Structure 1
Amino acid sequence: MDSLTKREEEKLPHISHGLMQRVSENWGWVVTLGVTIIWFLIVGSQYVYALTFLKLQQDFNGSATMVGLIGSIYLSLGCGLSPVTSLLQRRYSHRMITIMAVLITSVSYILSSFMDSLIFLVFTFGVLSGIGYNFVYTSLNHLLVCYFPSKKCRGPIAIANAGQTIAQLGLSPAIEKLLSLYGWRWTLRIQGTVICLVGLLACIVLKKPPVWKTSEKEDKKSKKCHSGQLMAVLKLPETWIFSMSTFLTGVASTFLYVYIGSYIVSKGLSEEQSATGMMLIGCGSLAVCLIGSILINRICFPVIYLIPVVCVLKACTFTIMTFVQTFRSVNIMCLVIGVLRTGYNILLVPPAVELLGTSRALEATTIAISSLGFGYFSGSYVSGKMFDAFGSYDIALYICAALYITSATLALIAPLYQRYFVPDRYMVDIKVTAINDENKNVLTSTNYERLFIEERESVI
Structure 2
Amino acid sequence: MGFEVKNKWGWLVTFNTFLIIMPVTGVLSTWGVIFVELQKEFPDLSDLEAGWIGGLAFGIMFAASPISTGLFKRFGHRIIAIIGTILCSIGLLASSFVPSPHLLFLTYSILMGVGSNFIDNTTLNLVGSYFPRKNSARSTCFATLGWSIGSLALNPGVEKLSTIIGWRGAFQVLSAGLFLLGMIACTTFKPPPHRCLDVLVDDPAEKQKEKLMPRKQRASSTSSRKKSVIEPMIADKHTIKDYVKMFVQTIQAPGILLWLFANIWMNLSLIFPFVNMIKFMTTIGIPESQGAFVLTVVGIADLLGRGSSAAFGDSLPFNTIYVYPICNTIMAGATFFLLIVKDIKGMYIFSAFIGYFIGVVNSMLFKACIDLFGAKILAEAWTLTLLGAGFGIAVGPTVAGAAYDFTGSFDIAFYVGGGMFALAALFTLMIPFVQRRKQWVPPRTMSRRESQAVIKARESVSDNMNSASETTNEEKSKEDMLNEDEESGVFIDVKEKNEKNVKPNDVVDQYVWVV
Q: Is the 8 A contact 1:441 1:455 kept in 2?
A: no
| Aligned partner of 1:232 among 249, 262, 271 | 249
CA separation of 1:303 and 1:440: change in aligned 2, threshold 3 A: farther
CA distance in 2 between counterparts of 1:285 and 1:49 reads: 17
Q: Is the 8 A contact 2:52 2:397 kept in 1?
A: yes
Q: Summarize the alignment of residues 207-356 of structure 1 with structure 2, pairs less than 5 Å apart.
A: 207-211=190-194, 219=236, 225-236=242-253, 238-356=255-373
1:171-228 deviation line (CA, Å, top 9, x unaligned): 1211111111111111111110111112111212222213568779983579864431
Q: Is the 8 A contact 1:81 1:370 kept in 2?
A: yes
Q: Summarize the alignment of residues 86-101 of structure 1 with structure 2, pairs less than 5 Å apart.
A: 86-101=69-84
The AA in structure 2 aligned to 1:292 is S
Q: Summarize the alignment of residues 384-395 of structure 1 with structure 2, pairs less than 5 Å apart.
A: 384-395=401-412
Q: Summarize the alignment of residues 372-451 of structure 1 with structure 2, pairs less than 5 Å apart.
A: 372-420=389-437, 422-423=438-439, 425-427=440-442, 434-435=447-448
CA separation of 1:441 and 1:153: change in aligned 2, threshold 3 A: farther
Q: RMSD value over aligned CA atoms?
A: 2.8
| Aligned partner of 2:491 among 436, 454, 459 | 454
Aligned residues: 430
CA distance in 1 between counterparts of 2:22 and 2:265 reads: 26
The AA in structure 2 aligned to 1:120 is L
CA distance in 2 between counterparts of 1:350 and 1:217 reads: 25
Q: Is the 8 A contact 1:245 1:410 kept in 2?
A: yes
Identity %: 25
The AA in structure 2 aligned to 1:79 is F
- Partner residue, 2:115: 132
Of residues 255-264 and 22-31 in structure 1, the stretch that sits farther from structure 2 once superposed is 22-31
Determine helix, strand or coil for the equivalent of 1:150.
Answer: coil
Of residues 203-212 and 249-258 in structure 1, the stretch that sits farther from structure 2 once superposed is 203-212
CA distance in 1 between counterparts of 2:415 and 2:332 reads: 8
Q: Is the 8 A contact 2:145 2:306 kept in 1?
A: yes
| Aligned partner of 2:90 among 79, 97, 107 | 107
- Using the size of structure 2 for normalisation, the TM-score is 0.78
CA distance in 1 between counterparts of 2:233 and 2:163 reads: 56
Cα drift, residue 456 of structure 1 = 5.3
Determine helix, strand or coil for the equivalent of 1:359.
Answer: coil
CA distance in 2 between counterparts of 1:439 and 1:116 reads: 65
- Partner residue, 1:37: 19
The AA in structure 1 aligned to 2:15 is L
Determine helix, strand or coil for the equivalent of 2:340.
Answer: coil
Q: Is the 8 A contact 1:441 1:453 kept in 2?
A: no
Q: Is the 8 A contact 1:280 1:331 kept in 2?
A: yes
Determine helix, strand or coil for the equivalent of 1:31.
Answer: helix
- Partner residue, 1:50: 32
In structure 1, runs of 5+ residues without a counterpart are: 1-17, 443-449
In structure 2, runs of 5+ residues without a counterpart are: 196-229, 456-486, 495-510
- Partner residue, 1:69: 52
Cα drift, residue 311 of structure 1 = 0.8
Cα drift, residue 79 of structure 1 = 0.3
CA separation of 1:52 and 1:218: change in aligned 2, threshold 3 A: closer
1:377-430 deviation line (CA, Å, top 9, x unaligned): 21133111111112221220111000111111111112211212x11x244xx8
| Aligned partner of 1:162 among 140, 145, 149 | 145
> Higher helix share goes to which structure?
1
CA distance in 2 between counterparts of 1:131 and 1:440 reads: 45
Q: Is the 8 A contact 1:51 1:275 kept in 2?
A: yes
CA distance in 2 between counterparts of 1:245 and 1:33 reads: 30
CA separation of 1:440 and 1:30: change in aligned 2, threshold 3 A: farther
- Using the size of structure 1 for normalisation, the TM-score is 0.87
CA separation of 1:441 and 1:135: change in aligned 2, threshold 3 A: farther
- Partner residue, 1:9: none
Q: Is the 8 A contact 2:444 2:491 kept in 1?
A: no
Cα drift, residue 374 of structure 1 = 1.2
Q: Is the 8 A contact 1:51 1:261 kept in 2?
A: yes
CA separation of 1:293 and 1:322: change in aligned 2, threshold 3 A: same
Cα drift, residue 363 of structure 1 = 1.1
1:243-277 deviation line (CA, Å, top 9, x unaligned): 11111112122313211222222221111101100
